[in-house]
Amino acid sequence: MISEEKAKKYSLKITKEKRKNQKITIIKTKIDMDKLSNKTVNTLKMLFLESKWLLSLNIC
């Protein structure tokens, strides 16, 4: 049990080190909605909505 706990701590430490090197990138795009299918438009709208939910969860 102790070795499992140490392995978990080590894994978290490695993950934390990896994330230190990651950079946040923001990409702004414009989408021509006239050229997309209805399914694609709805998917994009839901992705945007879900990202707003996740953002508000992180802020709270």
* Domain contains 53: yes
The parent domain of residue 36 ranges over 24-60
Residue 14 covered by a domain = no
Phi then psi dihedrals of residue 38, to 5 deg? -60, -40
Q: What is the pTM of this model?
A: 0.47
Alpha helices in the chain (DSSP H): 2-20, 38-59
Query: How many domains would you assign to the chain?
Result: 1
Residues whose CB is less than 8 angstroms from the CB of residue 41 and which lie 6 or more positions away in sequence, other chains included: 33
| pLDDT recorded at residue 1 | 56
Q: Residue 57's pLDDT is what?
A: 81
| pLDDT for position 22 | 83
Residues of the chain with pLDDT under 70: 1, 60
pLDDT at 20: 87
